[in-house]
Amino acid sequence: MFYIRTVKTASSSFAVQVIRYQNRKRIIVKHIGSARTQEEILSLKHTAEMWIERETKQQRLFPVEKKEIKTLIPIDKLRNLGFRYTFAYEVLMRILRLMQFHTLKNQLLLDFALMRIIQPASKLESLELLSELFGIKHNRAHFYRNIPAIISLKEAVEAKSIMFAKKQFSFDFSIIFYDVTTLYFETFREDEEAFRKTGFSKDNKANQPQIVIGLIVTHDGFPVSYDIFEGNTFEGKTFIPTITKFKETYAITTLTVVADAAMISLPNIQKLTQNNLSYIVGARVANLKRDQILEISERLNKVDGDSIRIGTERGLLVCDFSAKRYRQDKLTMEKQITKARRLIEEKEGLKRTKFIKNIGKTKQEINSDLIEKTKLLLGIKGYYTNLVGETNDTILKHYRNLWRVEQAFRIAKSDLATRPIYHFKKQTIEAHILICFVALAVCKYMELKTARSTKAIIKLLKKVTDARILNILTNEEIVIRSELSDEVQQLLKTLSLQH
C-alpha cells in the first residue's frame, strides 16, 4: 500500500511524500514537493493522489467522483512554458501507421517526413523544430549515422506505397503515369559522384547543377515509385530504364504507361514493344510531314470534340480537336507573330524567336510557311499508342490524367520545398529524396481523401494546440489541449482516423 505523508522540514515548510512500509520500515517512494501554505499543501496532496493512481494503479478505498476533484494550484506557482503542436504530429503519425510505414522501424525517417509536411526546413533545423514543436529529440550525430539505413529502405517504402494504393485506391498495375522533373542545388559546382550536373532545367536554373527525378503515380496521382538520374540526363532516356525496372520488380504481365511527348522516340517505342508494354505518349504533331498534317486538319475540320486515328511507324496516332484549345492556340500564335514582326521592324540585329527565319547572316523575315503549318494545327493535339483495341475516347481520357504527375511535382516543390537541395554527398541526396517521397505519399492521401490542399489541412491541425504549464511546487508539467472543433473531428473521420 502507498500512503501520503506530510512532514515539517528544517526550513519550516512542509514536505509532501508518497511512502510505503516494508518490514515495519518507512520507505519514501516519491517526493512530491514542499509547501508553506495550507492551499499549497492541499494541491500537493492532490498531485500525490493522482501520482499513486497513475503509477501504481492503486485505487482509493472511497473513490471520489471526478466532478468533486479540484486541482488547487495557486496561480503564482504556475509558469507558462508555451505551446506545442503535438496534435498535428499525432495525426500525421497515425496516417503513417495506416500506410504501414512504421513497420520500417526507422523513426528518424518518419519524423523528417512529417517535418517536411508541417514546416519544411534543412535537416539540422528540422531536428530543432522537432524538439521545439513536439518535444521530440534526435541526436544530430544519429542522423548522419542513420543515412545509410534510410536510403536502404527505398524499395521497402515503394512496396508499402504500392500496397496502400491497392487497398485505398484500387491500384492494379494496369495503368501508370510517368513524368520527369529537375531539382536544382544551392551551389554552382558540379559533382558527378553526387548526380549534380548542369542540364536542361525545368526551374529556369540553367547555371546551377541539378538532378533529374522520374516519378511513377497511379491514375489518382498517388506516388508508387521514383528514380534519380544525373542532372544532364535527357528525360527521354529515363523512360525505359524506370518503366522496365518497375515492371520486373513487381512481375507485372500487363502494363500501360502514360507519358508526355518528351518520352517518345523510335528506340523507346521499339523497347516498349520488346518488353510487352502498352503506351499512350504525347505526340509532337508539328514534326509530322506536311501531307500528314493536311490530312489530320481536313479530317478533323475544326469539329469540337472530334477525333481520328492514323497508322504511323511510332504506332497508332490518335488526334483530337478542341474549340477551347483552338482559341488558346490562336491567341498565343497571334502574340508570337506580333512579336516577330516588331523585332524585324526594330532592326536591332538578329533576334531568335518563333516565326522568324534568317536570310543569310544579317537579314531576317517572317516565316510564312511555319505560320501556315501552325494555323493547320490550331486546336489539335496528338497521342501515340499501341492500344489498337481501345476507343479514341479511352485513349484521350487516360492521357488527360497525366496532369496528376505534374500536380505531384508541384506539391513536392512548393508544399514540401524539395528544392533547392543543400546536400553535397550522394547518400545524403538519396536520403533527402526518399524523405520527400514519403512526405508526398502522406500529402496525396490527405488531398485525395479530403479534396483539400496540404497547406489547408496543416493549418487546421495546428489550430489544436497543447498549452504547457509548469507547477513549480512539484516541477510537474501540465498539458492542456484545446478543444477539437467540429471541422477537425470531421477531418479525422474523413481520413479514417478515429480520435
pLDDT digits (tens, 9 = 90+) for 204-243: 887 888 989 999 999 999 999 999 999 889 888 999 999 9
For the chain, what are the domain ranges? Answer: 3-72
Which residues does 280 contact at the CB level (< 8 Å), separation at least 6?
256, 257, 258, 259, 383, 384, 385, 387, 395, 398, 399
- Of 51, 9, 53, the closest CA to residue 32 belongs to 51
With both helix axes pointing from N to C terminus, report the angle between 107-118 and 454-461 in degrees, rounded to the nearest 10.
100
Longest CA span, the chain: 112
Which pLDDT score, from 0 to 100, does residue 70 have?
Answer: 47
Which pLDDT score, from 0 to 100, does residue 66 have?
Answer: 44
Which residues does 183 contact at the CB level (< 8 Å), separation at least 6?
203, 210, 211, 213, 413, 418, 419, 420, 421
C-alpha to C-alpha distance for 315 and 387, rounded to whole angstroms = 9
β-bridge partners, 66: none
Which pLDDT score, from 0 to 100, does residue 58 have?
Answer: 63
Which pLDDT score, from 0 to 100, does residue 381 have?
Answer: 95
pTM for the predicted model, two decimal places: 0.81
Which pLDDT score, from 0 to 100, does residue 68 have?
Answer: 42
- The C-alpha cell at 44 is 500537493
Q: Residues in the chain with pLDDT < 70?
A: 57-74, 192-194, 348-351, 498-499
C-alpha to C-alpha distance for 81 and 303, rounded to whole angstroms = 68
Question: Can you tell me whether residue 27 is helix, strand or coil?
Answer: strand
Which pLDDT score, from 0 to 100, does residue 50 have?
Answer: 79
